Structure 1
Amino acid sequence: MDPLAAALKVAASGLGVQSERLRVVSENLANAQSTGDAPGADPYQRKTISFAAELDRATGASLVEVNDIGRDASDFPIQFIPGHEAADEKGYVKMPNVNMLIEMADMREANRSYEANLQVIKQARELISMTIDLMRSQS
């Protein structure tokens, strides 16, 4: 298969997984303050995403795919918020295990990876267009 077509497939798979990664990060950020609705109830648990390489038999290229969307098993931080609906008898509330700095760093990295894959697609399309123009001028 054409190397440009393989590059397009690899970049497209990269776009797909980075888009999914951005969705997971956005969900984590949106729920960063989502506590349980009863005393002692668990709050929102941070989602994680992992990737895996997959061989595309048609092109021989190694594509990337989402392997798993899991849950972060780290402990929930506890805050003293007496009167909160999810506060225990001592006034402590379990908070989500979402670290805003980590989520923002993940978002930035996913965005940069997405943009890099998009640039590969743009360059490949430009090369294909130039090749077609060269073939037209030769006939």
Structure 2
Amino acid sequence: MTDFSDAMSVATSGMKAQASRLRHVSENIANTDTPGYRRKTVPFEEVVTNGRATGRVETGQLRLDQTELTQIYDPSNPLADANGNHRGSNVNLLIEIADAREAQRSYEANLKMFDQVRQMSSALMNLLQK
């Protein structure tokens, strides 16, 4: 039964990691027009126990994208400098939408794996009861 619980643990960790990633993507999309906002990214790290890879993942430390902030010309903006420019965000909606789609599909794949393991476990229990 530990193989079943290990497989469920792997799938669960993947779903948690993708849910975290999707939360950060949502924050990035919500702050697209926020002046000075830097895109957030979250790396995944493999969980190692006793020097052995477990197959599980967890989110690493949050990172801020260091690409250049966009310069926006708007002299009427209170944040504008003497030349009429102010800094926008470095969020690219096309990248965020692609990341959201990838996170969603990965979440669904982990959910499918979790469901398959649950069905196999249930079928095994039914066989053992007969």
Normalised-by-shorter TM-score class: over 0.9
Partner deviation per Cα, 1:22-78 (whole Å, 9 max, x = no partner): 01100100000011xxxxxxx111111111111245x96221111121111110011
Distance in 2 of aligned mates of 1:67 and 1:14 = 13
1:53: which partner in 2? 46
Which amino acid counterpart does residue 80 of structure 2 have in structure 1?
A
* 2:128 maps to 1:135: yes
Residue 84 (structure 1) shift: 1.0
Structure 2 residue matching 1:61: 3-state secondary structure = strand
Q: Pairwise mapping of residues 1-139 of structure 1 onto structure 2 (< 5 A)?
A: 2-35=2-35, 43-56=36-49, 61-137=54-130
Change (3 A) 1:100 1:125: same
Computed over aligned residues only, the root mean square deviation of the Cα atoms, in angstroms, reads 1.6
Kept in 2: contact 1:56–1:63 (CA 8 A): no
Which amino acid counterpart does residue 11 of structure 2 have in structure 1?
A
Distance in 2 of aligned mates of 1:53 and 1:61 = 8
Name stretches of at least 5 consecutive residues in structure 2 with no aligned partner: none
Kept in 1: contact 2:47–2:53 (CA 8 A): no
Give the TM-score, by structure 2 length. 0.92
1:40: which partner in 2? none
Distance in 1 of aligned mates of 2:128 and 2:26 = 46
**Identity percentage over the alignment?**
39
Which amino acid counterpart does residue 29 of structure 2 have in structure 1?
L
Change (3 A) 1:60 1:81: closer
Number of equivalenced pairs: 129
Kept in 1: contact 2:47–2:56 (CA 8 A): yes
Structure 1 residue matching 2:8: 3-state secondary structure = helix
Which amino acid counterpart does residue 71 of structure 1 have in structure 2?
L
Say which one has the larger Rg.
1
Partner deviation per Cα, 1:99-128 (whole Å, 9 max, x = no partner): 101111111000100000000111111111
